[in-house]
């Protein structure tokens, strides 16, 4: 804990054994010598806009992430600087789950899709609701404002925790209308 990896040490910049890592513990620089090897398990880079858009240019700062803010992939870059190869970097899974207003994981994603219709901001349905995550994400990224509006009737609401539904309506993150005409006005 509180120990940050700041580099990887190799015998020579681009060849020889990896000897260990450079780290910072409470502002103090330290080196940790590897006994056998170094395994990097520092997670992904979904929170780093520059790095992720290098591999998938659609993932600009407009696209929110539910990754932790520290998912910035610097250890991958340290390894690449020493000659490590990477693969599959452009396989970044997207799930249409962020609340447009809060940019946080939205509870609506748990409602279930069998009683829902997805439309864009023009009110047009553009994707099968039961599509795979990549199909849904791909379709949403092509819509105005990169937004999917989730329309559901009370079948959906009854199945979900009604208190949470009421809370998000009260917070102004969801809207209720009694008729389709009224819904269109929102
Ligand atoms: C909202 C959300 C929901 C998810 N739901 C599911 C699910 O239902 N099922 C499922 O299977 N997966 C789910 N996932 C994916 C899953 O959480 C990840 O695939 C998994 O946590 C990746 O594990 P990891 O050990 O590779 O990386 P991480 O869990 O990201 O761990 C990497 C660790 O390295 C540390 N680290 C990074 N850089 C440094 C550094 N320079 N110095 C020191 N430490 C560093 C980080 O602080 C972190 O503790 C979800 C992810 C999200 C964001």
The per-residue pLDDT for range 152-166, each reduced to its tens digit, is 888 776 777 778 778
Of all atoms in ligand 1, which is nearest to the CA of residue 46? 53
Question: Are residues 72 and 8 both part of a single domain?
Answer: yes
pTM of the complete model beyond 0.95:
no
Indicate whether 97 belongs to any domain: no
**How high is the pLDDT of residue 12?**
96
**How high is the pLDDT of residue 159?**
74
Beta bridge partners of 36: none
Mutate to test the pocket of ligand 1, among 51, 52, 70, 107 (most ligand atoms within 8 A of CB): 70
User: If you measure from the C-alpha of residue 147 to the centroid of ligand 1, how many angstroms do you get, rounded to a whole number?
Assistant: 26
Residue nearest to atom 47 of ligand 1 (CA): 70
Query: Which residue among 26, 46, 81 closes a domain?
Result: 81
Indicate whether 132 belongs to any domain: yes
Better-predicted residue by pLDDT, 44 or 158: 44
Question: Are residues 17 and 53 both part of a single domain?
Answer: yes
Residue nearest to atom 26 of ligand 1 (CA): 43
Q: How many angstroms separate the Cα of 132 from the Cα of each of 63, 66, 92?
A: 19, 19, 14
**How high is the pLDDT of residue 155?**
79
Instruction: Name the range with the highest mean pLDDT among 15-24, 58-67, 174-183.
Output: 15-24
Question: Are residues 74 and 112 both part of a single domain?
Answer: no
Compute the average pLDDT of residues 24-41. 96
pLDDT of residue 49 exceeding 90, the answer is yes
CATH code at position 127: 3.90.700.10
Q: How many angstroms separate the Cα of 144 from the Cα of each of 63, 119, 120, 140, 141?
A: 13, 11, 7, 8, 8
Domain limits for position 143: 107-185
Instruction: Please give the share of the chain, as a percent, with pLDDT higher than 90.
Output: 63
Indicate whether 170 belongs to any domain: yes
Closest CA relative to residue 164, chosen from 119, 68, 99: 99
4 neighbors 23 (Cβ within 8 angstroms): yes
Q: Which residues line ligand 1 (CB under 6 A)?
A: 4-5, 41-43, 66-67, 70-71, 74-75, 105
Helix (H, G, I), strand (E, B) or coil at 88: coil
**How high is the pLDDT of residue 76?**
98
Looking at the structure of the chain, the number of domains it has is: 2
Of all atoms in ligand 1, which is nearest to the CA of residue 75? 41
């Amino acid at each position: 804990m509180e120990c940050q990896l700041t580099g990887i040490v190799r015998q020579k910049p681009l060849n020889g054994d990896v000897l260990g890592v450079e780290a910072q513990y409470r502002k103090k620089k330290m080196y940790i010598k590897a006994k056998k090897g170094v395994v990097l398990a520092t997670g992904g880079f979904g929170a780093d806009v520059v790095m992720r858009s290098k591999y998938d240019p659609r993932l600009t700062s407009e696209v929110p992430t539910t990754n932790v803010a520290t998912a910035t992939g610097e250890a991958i870059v340290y390894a690449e600087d020493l000659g490590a190869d990477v693969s599959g970097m452009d396989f970044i899974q997207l799930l249409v789950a962020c609340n447009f207003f809060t940019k946080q994981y939205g509870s609506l994603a748990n409602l279930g899709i069998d009683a829902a219709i997805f439309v864009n901001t023009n009110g047009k349905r553009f994707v099968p609701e039961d599509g795979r995550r990549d199909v849904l994400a791909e379709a949403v990224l092509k819509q105005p404002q990169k937004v999917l509006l989730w329309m559901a009737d009370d079948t959906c609401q009854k199945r979900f925790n009604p208190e949470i539904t009421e809370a998000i309506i009260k917070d102004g993150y969801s809207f209720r209308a009694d008729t389709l005409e009224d819904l269109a006005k929102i």
